[in-house]
């Protein structure tokens, strides 16, 4: 297994790889923020991705896990690397007709223990939808984890399974109507993969 990454190392890599961005951003949740975490910039480096996967896997000692699932697109590499560290398979969910589901022949057997992971969590919406997709197939959500929890531990996953994060960061977020960055006239950027212009 790859070396575990410390919080200090992760913070340094977020800065070095340009994954932590400053500006005026529209988040996938619809909220605005002066900070954006683009984990694709971090995960494009296979050595870092492997260490991050091993570090998330280490958050689940003694937990029986048969598969690792994540929402596409951001969580796919995370699921793959966590699964590699655990020696299990990796699967991903994607939206079909507006509902998160497992496609492409990927599935879960009744009673299988599934760790559901993500790159960045703000409100927990995508990971919660993936947890619901696991439950619909009869899987057992055994663990939930992410690289970065930017909710400050407040994300609601809709399950008793606690979220474990390598790093918890609280950045201020704003509704569009009360955003001070909008009031300053700063251009709004939409860097995420699933964000639609509003």
Domains of the chain in start order, with CATH, are: 46-171 (3.40.50.2020)
| pTM, two decimal places | 0.87
Which stretches of 38-191 are assigned E, i.e. beta strand? 67-71, 89-96, 99-101, 113-121, 140-149, 163-168, 173-174
Contacts with 81 (C-beta within 8 Å, 6 or more apart), sequence order:
49, 50, 52, 53, 54, 56
Distance (Å, whole) CA 71 – CA 121: 11
Would you give per-residue pLDDT tens digits along the chain (198 residues)?
789 999 999 999 999 999 999 999 998 778 899 999 899 999 999 999 999 999 999 999 999 999 999 999 889 999 999 999 999 999 999 998 988 989 998 889 999 999 999 999 888 889 999 999 999 999 999 999 999 998 888 888 887 788 999 999 888 899 999 999 999 999 999 886 544 433
Distance of CA 35 to the CA centre of its chain: 16
């Amino acid at each position: 297994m790859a070396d575990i990454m410390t919080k200090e190392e992760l913070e340094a890599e977020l800065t070095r790889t340009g994954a932590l961005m400053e500006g005026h951003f529209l988040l996938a949740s619809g909220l605005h923020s002066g900070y954006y975490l683009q984990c694709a910039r971090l995960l494009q480096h296979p050595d870092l991705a492997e260490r991050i996967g091993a570090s998330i896997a280490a958050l689940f000692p003694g937990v029986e896990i048969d598969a690792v699932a994540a929402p596409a697109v951001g969580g796919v590499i995370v699921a793959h690397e966590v699964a590699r560290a655990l020696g299990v398979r990796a699967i991903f969910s994607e939206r079909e007709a507006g509902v998160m589901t497992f496609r492409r022949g990927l599935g879960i057997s009744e009673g299988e223990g599934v760790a559901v992971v993500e790159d960045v969590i703000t409100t927990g919406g995508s990971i919660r939808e993936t947890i619901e997709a696991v439950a619909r197939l009869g899987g057992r959500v055994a663990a939930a984890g992410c690289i970065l929890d930017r909710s400050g531990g407040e994300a609601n996953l809709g399950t008793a399974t606690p979220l474990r994060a390598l790093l918890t960061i609280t950045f201020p977020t704003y509704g569009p109507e009360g955003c001070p960055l909008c009031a300053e006239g700063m251009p709004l950027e939409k860097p995420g993969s699933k964000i639609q212009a509003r």
